[in-house]
């Protein structure tokens, strides 16, 4: 019997609304993929992102067309040719890794020649809000090692200072989500130095990166929207110090590992990030996170509910998920895995754009 593939939408309500410079989100809208081969079922998840012209419906349509025809020979290498980098390829690639792990009876870490996944200190995100509310959120997380502050172009200095005052010992990153100009970035340099910010993520709109050439920042500058795949790296040389690797941009773990190797070889520091998602999407990203200087994988921590056995934050460290969730080498019974996944599937209709954590 040939392997069977299913792609369907799923909606995960957030515990609290999440705001960035592009708007407010109350759910994480994702696509889940199952690839069944006998009694093994590989699962993957991706978050379509309107910023890149993706919707839940368009991603499912991308997956359905080539994968249904090629399932008898589908592997990671063939998938790179069938689908472009993006959310559709990520979901299928992740499911293939999970399926291979089950078929061989070994964890993905073993397939990659690595030891078991370590616990990782992940950033916790302070969503864009009033200075008072952001300070309140920071106080509740002041014990953590790393906080990421979402800001826009409207008085970011006040917001950053409020978080720093509320969390005096935490390491800080700032993410304007492309909302700054070069003039604002220049004006923010004294504030960034005084508040001891370590990294600013994608301050300028992607496509305007060249303005950064010759600019000396007091913080590390990280490319997010400007860096999707390894081929993007040469034009980012001399502009950014760090690249943010997200599986929804690279098209899965396979592409993420290629970008990781190329980025390190070209002298970039590594950040690993995520969109709004469940632990099913974070599980493969942990295999990149173990090599990253900055880990930002708190997507599932924003959810009201998550998969059983999902990642947990304990003592400021992100605990890997249970081996049965993804990539642990444990065979998943189709009868138990599929109903649990489809139960939360939502009709294909207009949905809010996903949040970028």
CATH of domain 4-112+328-342: 3.30.390.10
Predicted confidence (pLDDT) at residue 39 exceeds the cutoff of 60: yes
Name the pLDDT band for 328 (thresholds 50, 70, 90). very high
CATH label, 120-319, candidates 3.40.30.10, 3.20.20.120, 1.10.10.10, 1.10.20.140: 3.20.20.120
pLDDT value, residue 17:
75
246 catalytic per annotation: yes
Q: Phi first, then psi: what are they for 311, rounded to 5°?
A: -65, 155
pLDDT for 12 beyond 70: yes
Each residue of 154-184: pLDDT tens digit?
999 999 999 999 999 999 999 999 999 999 9
Above 80 in pLDDT, residue 349?
no
CB 354 within 8 A of CB 274: no
pTM for this model (two decimals): 0.89
- Whether residue 234 has pLDDT greater than 90: yes
Has residue 205 got a pLDDT over 80? yes
105 is written with which tokens? Answer: 């009876």
Strands (E), the chain: 4-20, 23-37, 40-46, 120-121, 124-126, 146-150, 171-175, 197-201, 220-223, 242-245, 269-272, 294-295, 312-314, 317-319
Task: Report in angstroms the alpha-carbon separations of 323 from 160, 199, 307, 332, 339.
Answer: 38, 33, 12, 10, 19
Average pLDDT, the chain: 89
Tens digit of pLDDT for each residue in 267-302? Answer: 999 999 999 999 999 999 999 999 999 999 999 999
**What are the pLDDT digits (tens) for 137-149?**
999 999 999 999 9
Q: Which of 148, 150, 338, 349 is catalytic?
A: 150
**Distances in Å between the alpha carbon of 354 and those of 17, 45, 298?**
12, 13, 15
Q: Which of 246, 249, 338, 349 is catalytic?
A: 246
Q: What is the pLDDT of residues 84-96, one digit of tens each?
A: 999 999 999 999 9
**Domain ranges for the chain:** 4-112+328-342, 120-319
pLDDT of residue 72: 63
349 is catalytic: no
For residue 68, pLDDT over 50 is answered with yes
């Amino acid at each position: 019997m040939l392997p069977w593939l299913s792609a369907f939408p799923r909606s995960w309500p957030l515990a609290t609304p999440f705001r960035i410079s592009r708007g407010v989100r109350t759910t994480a809208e994702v696509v889940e993929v199952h690839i069944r081969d006998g009694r093994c079922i590989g699962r993957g998840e991706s978050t379509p992102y309107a910023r890149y012209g993706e919707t839940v419906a368009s991603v499912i349509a991308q997956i359905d067309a080539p994968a249904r025809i090629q399932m008898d020979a589908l592997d990671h290498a063939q998938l790179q040719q069938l689908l472009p980098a993006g959310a559709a390829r990520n979901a299928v690639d992740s499911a293939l890794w999970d399926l291979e792990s089950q078929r061989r009876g070994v964890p993905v870490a073993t397939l990659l020649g690595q030891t078991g996944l370590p616990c990782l200190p992940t950033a916790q995100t302070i969503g864009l809000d009033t200075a008072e509310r952001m300070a309140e959120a920071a106080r509740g997380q002041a014990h953590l090692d790393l906080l990421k502050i979402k800001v826009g172009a409207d008085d970011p200095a006040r917001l950053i200072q409020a978080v720093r005052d509320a969390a005096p010992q935490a390491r800080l990153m700032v993410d304007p989500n492309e909302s700054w100009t070069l003039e604002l970035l220049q004006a923010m340099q004294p504030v960034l130095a005084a508040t001891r910010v370590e990294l600013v993520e994608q301050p300028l709109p992607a496509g305007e990166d060249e303005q950064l050439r010759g600019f000396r920042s007091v913080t590390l500058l990280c490319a997010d929207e400007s860096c999707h795949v390894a081929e993007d790296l040469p034009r980012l040389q001399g502009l950014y110090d760090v690249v943010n690797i997200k599986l929804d941009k690279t098209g899965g773990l396979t592409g993420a590992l290629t970008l990781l190797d190329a980025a390190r070889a070209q002298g970039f520091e590594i950040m690993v990030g995520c969109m709004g998602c469940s632990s099913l999407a974070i599980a493969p990203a942990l295999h990149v996170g173990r090599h990253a200087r900055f880990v930002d994988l708190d997507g599932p921590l924003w959810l009201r509910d998550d998969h059983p056995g999902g990642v947990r934050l304990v003592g400021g460290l992100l605990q890997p998920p249970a081996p049965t969730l993804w990539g642990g080498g444990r065979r998943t019974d189709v009868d138990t895995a599929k109903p649990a996944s489809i139960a939360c599937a939502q009709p294909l209709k207009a949905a809010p754009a996903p949040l970028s954590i």
